[in-house]
Structure 1
Amino acid sequence: MKDFRIIIDGDSCPVLKIIEEISKEYNIKAIIFCSYSHVPNERLDMEYLIVDSAPQAVDLAIINYIKKDDIIVTQDYGLASIVLSKGGRAISPSGNIYRDQQIDLLLYNRHLNSEIRRAGGRTKGPRKRNEMDNIKFKRNLIKLIQES
């Protein structure tokens, strides 16, 4: 197994307990990046790297920190795209593994939705999380770990 870490975009990550459990089980270092204004209330058994509350500060810190083969947990398609270009792997909290083959389409759809909203239109938001999202996340995070 390669040497890698699990890096968490922690400014609203609903799967921190699952990551903590899996990182302990597989003996992988987990590091949560968050801004001063988004530090989780519950202290978890992982390293915390706290950054300024400036816009995109967490994303920039992650981009500068990651190494090839690291696994990043993020909802941000833009961050996921940069992670993939640097040889990392990325997964969303709902368990979707970001792959090179799909990231351009995800970014394009995000751009289109932004244009619609800017023109005064409405777009559909994300659906509410459910227990199946947690199950899918856990299964696919383990899959990424085992692919190493």
Structure 2
Amino acid sequence: MPQSTAIEIFVDADACPVKEEVYKVAERHDLAVTLVANQFMRLPRDIVVRFVKVEDGPDVADDYIAEHAHSKAIVITADILLAQRCITQKATVIGTNGKPFTENSIGSAVAMRNLMADLRETGDVAGGPPPFSKADRSRFLSSLHEAIVQLKRIEG
């Protein structure tokens, strides 16, 4: 994949709770947004958002995003394994709860994900992550803005 010269945002859009926030911040910074999903979704009218519909199947959207991630890309996802793949492509990765995934944090995030999956499989733990909150939304907006400012500083 050729290296892009512009900052862009990729959203793992299936079940993403912060799409509206992405649109607002991207519009403010005049950045391209690409939503990737395996089902059609409503797009905003007031900004240009590229939509990529991928085939159904496990990890098809993840594969698309990971293949297109680059050092000036910001990837929005709750998927820890996708985050890991994008970090190896030098992308900036932010969880939908606003917590950034970094080279320093991704190893422990993957380990915790695997541990929790094992515990759920054995029935020792039930349920998934906590519900999305206002604090998560606020943290996400702050993290996305900070990531953009940092990439612009590097760029300029």
Number of equivalences: 144
Identity %: 19
Q: Are 1:11 and 2:14 counterparts?
A: yes
Question: Would the aligned equivalents of 1:75 and 1:93 in 2 still touch at CA under 8 Å?
Answer: yes
Q: Shift in Å at residue 120 of structure 1?
A: 2.8
Aligned with 2:23 (options 20, 24, 28) = 20
Number of the residue aligned with 1:43: 43
The worse-fitting range, judged by mean Cα deviation, of 66-75 and 110-119 is: 110-119
Question: Would the aligned equivalents of 1:7 and 1:73 in 2 still touch at CA under 8 Å?
Answer: yes
Aligned with 1:33 (options 36, 43, 46) = 36
Gaps of 5+ in 1: none
Instruction: Give the TM-score taking structure 2 as reference length.
Output: 0.87
Q: Shift in Å at residue 123 of structure 1?
A: 4.2
User: Any idea what SS the aligned residue of 2:105 has?
Assistant: helix
Q: Shift in Å at residue 104 of structure 1?
A: 0.3
- In structure 2, what residue type is equivalent to 1:146? V
Number of the residue aligned with 1:73: 76
Task: Give CA deviations for 1:39-86 in whole Å, capped at 9, x if unaligned.
Answer: 33x322311000011111100111112222200000011111111111
Q: Shift in Å at residue 124 of structure 1?
A: 5.0
- Runs of 4+ in structure 1 off by over 3 angstroms are none
- In structure 1, what residue type is equivalent to 2:59? Q
Instruction: Give the TM-score taking structure 1 as reference length.
Output: 0.91
Give matches, 1:1-148, under 5 Å: 3-36=6-39, 39-40=40-41, 42-44=42-44, 45=47, 46-123=49-126, 125-148=128-151
Gaps of 5+ in 2: 152-156
State how far apart, in whole Å, the 1-side matches of 2:115 and 2:137 are.
28
State how far apart, in whole Å, the 1-side matches of 2:57 and 2:36 are.
13
